[in-house]
């Protein structure tokens, strides 16, 4: 299976302008990891293990003190300004675990890391889908297969499967914050069929594009 794949799902029709404006005014919680020491990568919860939109963690992951309570939608799911988010989610043929909006602040990066700390992602029980809702060609996403580095631009209006058990990193060289809707789904036959379809996403042509990490240390310790 490809380490990054654009999923053949309907493009959402509603404008995200009001949703982005609304999301920009919320209080985000830093992602608690050593790869985010400066707190430039943060998130809010649309679905999770708490009613608190600031509680973005999962029980038993990253030394979380979140109790193993039933999953539930937070108040954000019913916000009128976020109706486009509902539309986006309606196209994904799966039951959801966590659903978060994850922000990477302008001019910052997420160091090279893996998401193997989540055993359900590691064993394939949960599939992670990224939907860019505010991004730019100046936001660079990297994935590694062994020593081979792949370099991508992810576009708004599209759904991407990413194998986050592989090392990956992000650099936001844009002047604005990047926002992604990050959806963790329980794997099922319909989703597996989508993942098996031959629809890989083309990466940057390195002969014509610069390396945004030149002179910038993004390496974290795995």
The predicted model gives 147-166 an average pLDDT of 90
CB atoms within 10 A of CB 73: 14
Mean confidence (pLDDT) of the chain = 85
Q: Model confidence at 38, in pLDDT bands (50, 70, 90)?
A: confident
Residue 62's pLDDT is 53
Residue 176: is its pLDDT beyond 50? Answer: yes
d(C-alpha 172, C-alpha 195), whole Å:
27
31 — pLDDT class (breaks 50, 70, 90): confident
As a whole number of angstroms, the distance between CA 104 and CA 108 comes to: 7
**Which DSSP letter does residue 173 get?**
-
CB 168 within 8 A of CB 77: no
How do residues 46-85 score in pLDDT, each as one tens digit? 999 989 999 898 876 555 566 667 899 999 999 999 999 9
Q: Which helix (H) or strand (E) holds 119?
A: helix 119-122
Please tell me the predicted confidence (pLDDT) of residue 212: 41
Q: What's the confidence (pLDDT) of residue 66? A: 60
Asked if the model's pLDDT at residue 167 lies above 60, the reply is: yes
SS3 state at 68: coil
pLDDT at residue 161 above 90?
A: yes
Residues 6+ apart with CB under 8 A from 216: 109, 171
State mean pLDDT over 106-118: 84
pLDDT band (50, 70, 90) for residue 86 = very high
**Residue environment code for 96-129, b if the CB has 16+ CB neighbours within 10 A, otherwise e:** bbbbbbbbbbbebbbbbbbbeebeebeeeebbbb
Query: Which residues are CB-contacts of 73 (< 8 A; sequence separation ≥ 6)?
Result: 46, 47
Q: Which of 21-25, 94-98, 152-156, 173-177 has the weakest average pLDDT?
A: 152-156
Q: Which domains does the chain have, with CATH numbers?
A: 4-196 (2.60.120.330)
At residue 190, the pLDDT reads 95
Q: Indicate if the pLDDT at residue 219 is higher than 70.
A: no
- pLDDT tens-digit map of 116-127: 667 787 788 999
Mean pLDDT of 131-146: 93
């Amino acid at each position: 299976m490809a380490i990054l794949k654009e999923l053949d799902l309907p493009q959402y029709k509603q404008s995200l302008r009001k949703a982005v404006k609304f999301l920009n005014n919320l209080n985000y919680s830093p992602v608690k990891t050593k790869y985010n020491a400066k707190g430039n990568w943060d998130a809010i919860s649309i679905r999770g293990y708490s009613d608190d939109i600031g509680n973005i963690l999962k029980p038993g992951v990253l030394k979380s003190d979140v109790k193993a309570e039933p999953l539930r939608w937070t108040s954000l799911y019913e916000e009128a300004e976020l109706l486009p988010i509902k539309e986006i989610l309606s196209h994904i043929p799966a039951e959801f675990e966590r659903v978060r909006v994850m922000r990477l602040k302008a001019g910052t990066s997420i160091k090279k890391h893996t998401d193997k700390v989540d055993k359900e992602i590691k064993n394939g029980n949960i599939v992670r889908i990224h939907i860019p809702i505010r991004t730019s060609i100046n936001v660079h996403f990297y994935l590694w297969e062994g020593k081979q580095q792949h370099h991508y631009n992810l576009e708004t209006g599209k759904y991407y499967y990413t194998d986050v058990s592989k090392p990956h990193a992000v650099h936001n060289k844009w002047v604005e914050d990047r926002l992604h809707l990050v959806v963790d789904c329980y794997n099922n036959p319909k989703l597996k069929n989508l993942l098996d379809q031959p629809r890989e996403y083309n990466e940057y042509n390195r002969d014509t594009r610069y390396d945004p990490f030149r002179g910038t240390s993004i390496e974290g310790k795995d």
